[in-house]
Each structure stands twice: as structure tokens, then as C-alpha cells.
Structure 1
Amino acid sequence: MAYADQKMSGNRVTALIIVAILHIIVGYALVTGLAYEAVKKIKERVETFDVKEEKPPEEPPPPPPDAPVPPPPIVAPPPPISFDRPSPVQAVATPPAVVLPPTVTAPPPAPPPPPAVSKARGAKPKGQSSWAARIQDNYPSAALRKEIEGTVGVRVTVGPDGRVAGCTVTGSSGSGDLDSAACDGMQRYARFEPALDAGGNPTTGSFSTRIVYKIN
């Protein structure tokens, strides 16, 4: 039994060794074949590799038109450094300019219109010698009988129609008969050109005269 066990153990060891050798051979063959294939492929790649220039990186596409591109920030240059300290400047308040309104020269006043020529005048006797003679011829009979003579001063009012409208004795002859006869004769016989106002229209006026009574 011991011998049979020993023999079986030797065979097992031998089988194990053979199996190990086979594994080694197979592994070597695999490794060698794979290495050969790898070297072959590397050689092909090295032989057929073309060196190409690298293209410059493409610029990024412009932004869409509706998206505004913000302008670059404006960087102001730093102010110059001054080592001189400026003297303080006192602000002088400037008074506001006085705007005078334009001088408006008034036009000279229009010259006054020339004064209107007045046409006013007093009453004027018309045919005085004729009616004065008629008054004197109408001698009062009572004074004639008494042979009374005298001069009567009268003042008459002349209407716009040229006739005597009233009579007043301004100087008595001393005889009532002669005074009454003088005013009566003036109202009956005297005629006038009527007085005129400034516009030349007939108006009421007055006239004074003397009546002389004398017996021939």
C-alpha cells in the first residue's frame, strides 16, 4: 500500500509538472504572439502616419444680431499727479446783468388844429339913413306944439330876423314925448342885418344909437 501510494504521488507530481510546463508554453506562445502582433501594428502606424499641420483654433461664432454686444468699458486714464498744492481760489459772485428795457420815444404830439375863424359879429343897421329920417319926421305933435327939441339915446334888441324886438332909452331927452316917440319909431321903421354866432348863424344881437329931434 505504501508503495502504491508513493507511486501514485510521483505520478501526480509528474502530471502537475507537465501541466505547469504546458501552461508556461501556452502562456509564452500567447505572450509572444500578442507581442508580435502589437509590434506589427505599431510599425504599420509609424510607417503610415502623416504629419499634418494643426489648424488654428476656429474663432467663436458671432453673437446673434438681436443680442446687443456690450461696449467695452471705458477706462479713464489716471489723473496726472501734481505735487504742487494749488492755491485756494475764492469764488467771486458775479452780479446778474441788468437788462434795461428799450427806450421807447413817444412820437411828438400832433400839432393842434388851427383855431377856427370865428364868424361872430354884432347886428348891423341896414338903410339907417332912410329909417332914421322917417323916425325924425314922425315928430310927436305935443312936443312940436311946445317946440321941444332934444336927443334920445336908445338901445334896441335885434332878433335873428333883423327886426327890433325891444327898445330901452339909455339917454333921455328930458321929454317923455320924445323918448317914447324914439323907441316907437325904432320898432316900426328900423331894419338890421342880424348878428351872427361863431359859426356864421343868425342870432340875437343888440344895437345902440341916438335919435335927434329938431324943429326946422
Structure 2
Amino acid sequence: MAYADQQMSGAKITTIVIVALIHVFIGYALVTGLAYKAAQQVIKKVTTVDIKEEKPKEEPPPPPPEPPKDTPPPPIVAPPPPINIAPAPPPVQTVINAPPAPPVVVPTVSAPPAPPAPPAPPAPSKARGASPKGQGRWAAAIQRNYPSRAAREGREGRVGVRVNIDTEGRVSACQVSNSSGSPDLDEAACDGMTRYARFDPALNAAGDPISSSYSTTIVYQLN
């Protein structure tokens, strides 16, 4: 029994190993076959894919450029002048032997001032004194009024009078400057001058009439 059991166990083990190998082989075959088919399917898919190139979208044209603005031109920058660096000259020693001569002062003579212009000649004067106007008439009127008492008594005389004459040529006042010795003759002389005498009035330098005085003598004489 023991030997039979050992043979049975060895055969069983061999059978199990063989079955396991068959399973491994089948699994390997299946795995390799499936992998091959899967690889073919992948290659087929990869090779049969159509890659369509997408056309780029047409972008709208760019807007027209803005017109250039009137910008002032940039300032012209002149290059700096070349600097000529010359070596400094050697110092010069000046020896002063004598003091300088004083400056010569030349006196300036100013021209004498021009003489002043002579004054303009004065306008001719229109001044004049009073003068009798129609003296023969008014002298005769004074004689006609000879004092009656002096005429009866035969008295004659010369009476000096001084009269004031207004701007219209009339006598405004009278006084006896030289008496005749007869009061009635003196009074008649001033009364006659005041009533009858007429004058051209005196004038000033501008020719305007002014008041003035006039002296004369009245002669009383009987014919």
C-alpha cells in the first residue's frame, strides 16, 4: 500500500506539473498573441488617423496708421568745439628798471556859451496925451459968456486952468492954476471949460483911451 501510494503521489505530482506548464504555455501564448493583436490595432489606428491641418483664422487687417503729428524737429546740438590743450608757456619775468612816466593831462577848453538871442523889438507905442478937439468953437463960446459985471467995469485978464479929462474927452474937473486977480473971471473960466471944452482923450501904449489932465489959459479981452 505504501509503494502504491508513493507511485500515485509521484504520478499526480507529474501530472500537476505538466498541467501547470501547459497553463503557463497557454497563458504565454495568449499573452503574446493578445499583445501582438493589440499592437497591430494600435499601429492601425495610428497609421489610419488623418491629421487635418487647421487653417489659421484670418485676422482682420490692422487699422491704418495715424497721420504723423507735426512734431518739432529735435534741437540741433552742435558738437562742443575741440579743446586745444596747449602746454602752458614758461613764466616770463619782467624787470622794471624805472617807474613809468606820469600821464600827460591835456586841459580841455570849453567853447564859450553862445550869446543870448536879442530880445524882440517892442511893439510901437500908441500912447499919446489929450488934445483939444474943435478948440476954436468952444473957445469962442467961453468968450461969449464974458462976465457981465467985469465987462461993465472993463476988467480984462488971463486965467490959467488945469482940467481933468475922462475917457470920452469931456472935462470932469477944473481948477485955477493961475488967477487973473478977478474972482468972477476965474470962476467963468472953469465954468466955460466944463461946459464947452472937448478933447481927444489920451491913449496908453496899447491904444486904449485913458483919463488924463490938460492945462491951458483963458484970455478975457474986451474989444
TM-score (norm 2): 0.55
Which of the residues 163, 184, 199 maps onto 2:191?
184
Query: What does residue 204 of structure 2 align with?
Result: 197
Structure 2 matches for 1:3-42, cutoff 5 A? none
Structure 2 matches for 1:158-173, cutoff 5 A? 158-173=165-180
Whole-Å separation in 2 of the counterparts to 1:99 and 1:135 = 88
Deviation at 1:173, TM superposition (A): 0.8
Query: What does residue 98 of structure 2 align with?
Result: 91
SS at match of 2:118: coil
Deviation at 1:189, TM superposition (A): 0.2
Whole-Å separation in 2 of the counterparts to 1:127 and 1:75 = 116
Whole-Å separation in 2 of the counterparts to 1:117 and 1:72 = 88
Q: Which runs of 5+ in 1 are unaligned?
A: 1-69, 80-87
Q: Deviations over 1:106-133 (max 9, x none)?
A: 3331111113211111100000011000
Query: What does residue 10 of structure 2 align with?
Result: none
Whole-Å separation in 2 of the counterparts to 1:145 and 1:76 = 139
CA gap of 1:179–1:77, structure 2 versus 1, over 3 A, is closer
Deviation at 1:144, TM superposition (A): 1.8
Query: What does residue 130 of structure 2 align with?
Result: 123
Q: Deviations over 1:22-45 (max 9, x none)?
A: xxxxxxxxxxxxxxxxxxxxxxxx
Q: Deviations over 1:117-159 (max 9, x none)?
A: 1111110000001100000110112212222111111111111
SS at match of 1:169: strand
Query: What does residue 154 of structure 2 align with?
Result: 147
Whole-Å separation in 2 of the counterparts to 1:92 and 1:124 = 91
Q: Which runs of 5+ in 2 are unaligned?
A: 1-82
Deviation at 1:76, TM superposition (A): 6.2
SS at match of 1:162: coil
Deviation at 1:210, TM superposition (A): 1.1
After TM superposition, which residue ranges in structure 1, 4 or more long, deviate above 4 angstroms?
70-73, 75-79, 99-102
Two-structure CA RMSD over aligned residues (Å)? 2.9
Whole-Å separation in 2 of the counterparts to 1:174 and 1:159 = 29
SS at match of 1:143: helix
The answer to whether the aligner puts 1:114 opposite 2:127 as a matched pair is: no
CA gap of 1:211–1:71, structure 2 versus 1, over 3 A, is closer
Whole-Å separation in 2 of the counterparts to 1:184 and 1:98 = 89
SS at match of 1:144: helix
SS at match of 1:157: strand
Whole-Å separation in 2 of the counterparts to 1:72 and 1:134 = 125
Query: What does residue 31 of structure 2 align with?
Result: none
Whole-Å separation in 2 of the counterparts to 1:119 and 1:174 = 40
TM-score (norm 1): 0.56
Whole-Å separation in 2 of the counterparts to 1:147 and 1:119 = 46
CA gap of 1:92–1:146, structure 2 versus 1, over 3 A, is same
Whole-Å separation in 2 of the counterparts to 1:71 and 1:188 = 119
Identity %: 57
